[in-house]
Amino acid sequence: MNIDDIDTPAILIDLDVVEANLSRAQSYANDHGIALRPHVKTHRLPLFAKRQVELGAQGINCQKLGEAEVMADAGLTDILVTFNIIGAAKLDRLAALHSRIQIAVVADNVPVIDGYAARFTDPDHPLDVMVECDTGAERNGVQSGEQALDLARRITAAPGLRFAGLLTYPPSNPKATGAWLAQAKQIIEADGIAVPKLSSGGSPTLYSAHESGGIDEHRAGTYIYSDRMQVAAGLGTLADCALSVLLTVVSRPTDTRATLDGGSKALAADVCAAPGHGHIIEYPDAILTKLSEEHAVVDVSACDSKPMIGARVRVIPNHVCVVVNLFDKVHLMRGDTVEQVLDVAARGKSN
């Protein structure tokens, strides 16, 4: 099977670029003594999660329990879930995972910790809990080292829980992130509580993680494929982008406009610093100006040659993580040859 046999829209993944991206990231982590914990929300594929671990990754990171369940069922045994887990149904699912793999979770408030403490009571098999810290991203996280200490005390006091360190999803300043976490660690250790790990994250700060100072672990997802957001931010080139969406030109309403057969349900609607909703590899001067649900409108006025109806093009999306979650399958490619077609095993696992 080759690229001409693939119906559109479809995801293509260049395996050579994937392998290069994975090897580069793992080598960087090894060189700087940082444990790399890949975030699987980007690829959602057990095959790639296992490959990341084979290359030296320290387990994997999932955002939701549904992703973790898929990965555990596939044989992954060291999983960190970086989302507050609330409610009896979810705690039961967490307990089922805890009974068969090494799993850690996060918390940034007392009700979440109290829920863990009520469900997990065995001191011989404690649940690892990290305290999530807001180091400037203004999402989840405690707001100060003193608040982190309060939660660390509460975790330590629960017989079935074990304080596993501090975690953040940072803004773009690694040094400020490192300073925030170092101060919080000092406050907690002054209270007699050990801080086993400082964990940071994000592909944008992956290759500057060592500048944080004292970071033990870095979590990143997008680096496996890269995307146009990463390129627009100066974090690599289009040649580092392993994933593209194969689309067909279905209309040429005017000399300067073309329409493709995939809109926001194939490319997602995220924007970035570069113009348009994606980069068309075959027509680099074209601009994807507008997405409807099933239509992508392309301005081809700057193109020396213009696509004909029926032509097929590959689009590098702006935000690859969202795009993967829109498709049931992906095509793993070597050049124009399809090596394997895989179900996106963790697609839609947002619960």
pLDDT digits (tens, 9 = 90+) for 80-109: 999 999 999 999 999 999 999 999 999 999
DSSP type of residue 307: P
Q: Specify the pLDDT at position 333.
A: 99
Banded pLDDT at 338 (limits 50, 70, 90): very high
For residue 219, give the amino acid letter: R
- Phi, psi (rounded to 5 degrees) for 201: -165, 170
Helix axes 88-98, 110-119, angle to 10 degrees: 60
Q: How many domains does the chain have?
A: 2
Does the pLDDT value for residue 173 go beyond 90?
A: no
Mean pLDDT of the chain: 97
305 by Cβ neighbours in 10 Å (0-12 / 13-18 / 19+) ranks as exposed
**Are residues 158 and 237 both part of a single domain?**
no
**Are residues 117 and 138 both part of a single domain?**
yes
List the domain range (segments joined by +) for residue 268: 229-318
**Are residues 159 and 234 both part of a single domain?**
no
Alpha helices for the chain (secondary structure H): 15-31, 46-54, 65-73, 88-98, 110-119, 145-157, 174-190, 228-232, 264-267, 320-324
Q: Specify the pLDDT at position 170.
A: 87
Q: What is the mean pLDDT of residues 315-324?
A: 98
Q: What is the CATH number of the domain that holds 208?
A: 3.20.20.10
Q: What is the CATH number of the domain that holds 258?
A: 2.40.37.20
Report yes or no on 181 lying in a domain.
yes
**How far is the C-alpha of 347 from the C-alpha of 205, rounded, in Å?**
26
Q: Specify the pLDDT at position 171.
A: 80
Report yes or no on 331 lying in a domain.
no
DSSP bridge partners of 38: 220
**Are residues 58 and 153 both part of a single domain?**
yes
Report yes or no on 4 lying in a domain.
no
Report yes or no on 198 lying in a domain.
yes
pLDDT digits (tens, 9 = 90+) for 261-270: 999 999 988 8
Does the pLDDT value for residue 172 go beyond 90?
A: no
Banded pLDDT at 147 (limits 50, 70, 90): very high
% of the chain beyond a pLDDT of 90: 97
- Please name the helix (run of DSSP H) or strand (run of DSSP E) that holds residue 201, with its range, or none: strand 198-201
For residue 124, is it left (φ>0), alpha (ψ between -120 and 50) or beta? alpha
Instruction: Measure Cα distances from 168 to 47, 106, 209, 320 in Å.
Output: 27, 10, 12, 22
pLDDT digits (tens, 9 = 90+) for 280-303: 999 999 999 999 999 999 999 999
Q: Specify the pLDDT at position 51.
A: 99
Report yes or no on 326 lying in a domain.
no
pLDDT digits (tens, 9 = 90+) for 102-146: 999 999 999 999 999 999 999 999 999 999 999 999 999 999 999
**Are residues 170 and 21 both part of a single domain?**
yes
**Are residues 74 and 114 both part of a single domain?**
yes
DSSP type of residue 194: -
